[in-house]
Structure 1
Amino acid sequence: MSRGNHGRFFIKSGTPRSSENSLSVSEKTPEISNKTLSAILSGLELYGENENDAASNKYRTTASPYDIVVRINNLLDLRTHGWEILLGQHTKSIKSTTKGTGENGASVINEQKEGVVVSVLGAYNRGKSFLLNQLCNVSLPTGTLVHTEGISITAGRQNYTNIVFLDTAGTDTPVRNDEIEYKRAREALLREVVLHLSTFIIIVVNRLRTTDQIYINQILKYYRNSPHKKTIIIVHNLLDVEKIPDVDKIISEEIQWIFGAVQQKTQLSINGCMKDIIYFTSKQFGGTDIRHYILGRSGSEADKLWNMQTIDGIMNFLQNTDNKRNLDLINDMITFINHKLSKLFVQNSTEQTPNLQLVQHNSKPFIVLSNRRDYEDLSQRPYELKLSEQLIYDDAGYFIRNESEYWQPRYNLYEDETKYLLVLELPGFEKGVLKPRISGNSITIENIRRDLNTSMNNPIIHQSDIPTGSFKLNISFQQAIEERFTAERNEGFINLTILKKRSTEYTEPV
């Protein structure tokens, strides 16, 4: 596979920077985004300030160009050794950001580094590794026999400053029959972790299939619940398409017609030359902005027209965004997973530790259950874990949705020339409890649905499909809306009629 000139720095205007593409990955290792990677390494408890630090040498290295790999390969591994953290071969030459000590002796990152965190998602065998190779200018292994482990983190090479890419495991490889549900839960967990950590989401598809549409829709629904702004990019990796007219036909039928996308063009200054970048934009699910980019078959005429401008366009977009987050990814990952553990597993009532929590081991490069953090031999005294039988997935089976702390009510949205009609499926709330808030051109409804069982203590649960706990629904409208709305309750449904007009902040009980 040709790697091309993907080491260039992309800017909208100003003085262009020279290419360093003539260097191989190993030759340009010292020029990896040191500050970005050092901020990520600061989250590793055993990583020292220099390559000779004994703690740093506790980590095994991975032969792949990934910088950090968290081997979340099996939920059952938490019974014993947990999830190993591997480092890239070059990583130990990078110094971690200095830590201080906060309250209760907790480590604190003194230099809080921010960056763009990009999750690359897609169904099996759509070309995620191929795209990562192009974006990162590395040589990740590709092919159907190569499987990514757990969550893999790669900092941008060369001049790709403050950009981090996340890749996840997720294949159709078989497992033992008694481990199928564990595998399903693990892959759902991985999706949720990387979506939580990321500021950008890239979804890779080939020729658009119904399964891809379902995948995209479920990602967008999940994204809609996120309290943090994220940006969606869909890369149409047309790996079997060689001719430009064939690409044009697919653009017309699959991008412009199905997504309602509109062609856009921008100019970049690259190495002193102006270059046109063509991409497409669409809106989905209440106004979510999506960018679409094209890749043709490697080495074809479609490749020559589309591939380089797509990589240039994506990297320029990422490089110039203000949508960033802190880079303490390892600790944020652990914190997020800890919120999920009580829903994933049945609690062991005989164990001294009442709540399942993950931590980094005190002396070994593993993420383990907190009651095992001091074990010298992690194979000893396995912790009894059993996957919860109450796990409920979304309609496509991609995300676990029975969390007590967060769920998503279903709704229908209609529109005519003068108003919107929002029909919410929200039984179980008394009149006056729900208080929709209108601000700008969006409406927000949030509350808590309590446990529906009020008469039985410690019941045997045979089915639990109705979600409880907190929910927050935010819906944006393409037009400005009136400050007031009318509400009607109809046998468990709530109908909100919202007039189209300029709005201000408004609250009214339902």
Structure 2
Amino acid sequence: MAKDESTAADKWNEQTLDSLMAILQADLPKRRNVCIFDEVLVHINKRLPLLLSSSNGLDADPSKIQAVKHLTESYIVLSELREKSFEERKEHTPSFSVVPRLLYDQRGYLVGIVSAGTEKWQPRYRLYKTNDHLNIIVVLAGFNQDNLTVEMERDVAIIRGERSEPPDACCQSVADQEQYPIGSFELLVSVKDDIDGNQADFQCEDGFLSIKCPIRKYVKKRFGGPAKAGN
């Protein structure tokens, strides 16, 4: 949500509220119990380092871009403002600006983020989790196993590929009518769990890339100490 009466608020706040309502109303039978406030914080802190840059145009320090609960008021604020009053926050001069590499469609919706220092874009994705597996679903219309690669590490999936212009497209696209990105992309999906990349299952079908990874299980082992009764 952008500041009230700002240009950004006029353009995006209504879309943000519509998106939140769609999420809250979707798939009611399967919805898990969540603390909305904490979920919002987790989501914000994943995205802010991608959306903001420092005032000199360089990538911002992620440790300084953390949203937290205000200590005394019902607000989510940057960590450096957690003790500031509302009046002080209104007068605060931000040290960050929106990165110039965000991609929007014709209606103003965010469709991707160009990687820093490159012309690469990032597709959208979602994470799903069970007790045993983690499933990463990436929206990749027009891709198959021949034009993308996936590298699995202990706590991250690295997905790369390139989308070419359609073979029957005209030589030049129409200005202001570019609804999806063309060219190379690179997406790094970090996860909190320790995944077993060697056992990952990949499927690319109907415009979605699905990566299903087992979550490693660890059993506590004990050595030494007094023997238990009955042993």
Q: How would you bin the TM-score normalised by the shorter chain?
A: 0.5 to 0.7
1:499 corresponds to which residue?
Answer: 214
Match of 1:230 in 2: 62
Identity over aligned pairs, percent: 18
Q: Secondary structure of 1:464's match?
A: coil
CA shift at 1:298, angstroms?
8.0
Q: After superposition, give the CA deviation of every residue in 1:225-284 in whole Å (9 maximum; x if it has no partner).
A: x998722223656xxxxxx8xx28x4xxx67xxxxxxxxxxxxxxxxxxxxxxxxxxxxx
Match of 1:477 in 2: 191
Change (3 A) 1:218 1:400: same
Q: 1:480 to 1:438 in 2, by over 3 A?
A: same
Contact 1:235–1:292 under 8 Å retained in 2: no
User: What's the counterpart of residue 425 of structure 1?
Assistant: 139
Going from structure 1 to structure 2, the CA distance change for 1:233 and 1:423 (only over 3 Å counts) comes to closer
Who is 1:219 aligned against? 48
Contact kept in structure 2, 1:234 and 1:292, CA below 8 Å: no
TM-score (norm 1): 0.26
Query: Could you say what secondary structure the match of 1:436 adopts?
Result: strand
* SS of residue paired to 2:192: coil
CA distance in 1, matches of 2:169, 2:3: 46
Structure 1: stretches of 5+ with no match in the other structure? 1-121, 126-143, 145-170, 174-180, 185-207, 238-243, 256-289, 304-335, 345-389, 503-510
Task: Output the aligned Cα RMSD.
Answer: 5.0
3-state DSSP class of the match of 2:196? Answer: strand
Q: Which amino acid aligns with 2:62?
A: K
SS in 1 for 2:209: strand
- 1:447 aligned onto 2:172: no
- Contact in 2 for aligned 1:419/1:498 (Cα 8 Å): yes
Residues 1:405 and 1:394: Cα distance change in structure 2 (over 3 Å):
farther
* Map 1:124-139 → 2, pairs under 5 A: 124=3
Aligned mates of 1:420, 1:492 — CA distance in 2: 20
CA contact (8 A) 1:444 1:474 kept: yes
Q: TM-score, normalised by structure 2?
A: 0.52
Aligned counterparts, 1:141-152, within 5 A: none
Whether contact under 8 Å (1:481, 1:498) holds in the other structure is: yes
Equivalent position to 1:467, from 143, 158, 181:
181
1:167-246 correspondence to structure 2 within 5 Å:
171-172=6-7, 219=48, 222=51, 230-231=62-63, 232-234=65-67
Distance 1:478 1:455, change over 3 A: closer
Does residue 297 of structure 1 match 2:66? no
CA pair 213-455 structure 1, distance change in 2 beyond 3 A: same
CA spacing shift, 1:124–1:216, aligned 2, 3 Å:
farther
CA gap 1:236/1:430 in 2 versus in 1, 3 angstroms: closer
Q: Which residue of 1 aligns with 2:203?
A: 488
What does 1:85-124 correspond to in 2, within 5 Å?
123-124=2-3
Number of equivalent positions: 169
**Bigger Rg over Cα:** 1
Deviation at 1:437, TM superposition (A): 0.8
Q: 1:227 to 1:428 in 2, by over 3 A?
A: farther
Distance 2:213 2:43 in 1: 29
Q: Which amino acid aligns with 1:219?
A: L
What secondary structure does 1:219 align onto? helix
CA change 1:495–1:391 in 2 (3 A) is: closer
Decide whether aligned partners of structure 1 residues 427 and 464 sit closer, same or farther in structure 2, where only a CA change above 3 A counts. Answer: same
User: The residue matched to 2:177 in structure 1 has which SS?
Assistant: coil
Uncovered stretches (5+) of structure 2, i.e. residues with no partner: 13-36, 53-57, 89-98, 218-231
Change (3 A) 1:435 1:217: closer
Question: 1:470, CA displacement in angstroms?
Answer: 2.0
Q: 1:238-317 alignment to 2 at 5 Å? A: 247=72, 250=74, 294-295=82-83, 297=85
User: Measured at CA, do residues 489 and 458 of structure 1 come closer, stay the same or move farther in structure 2, by a change above 3 Å?
Assistant: closer
Moved over 6 A (4+): 212-217, 226-229
Q: Which amino acid aligns with 1:450?
A: S
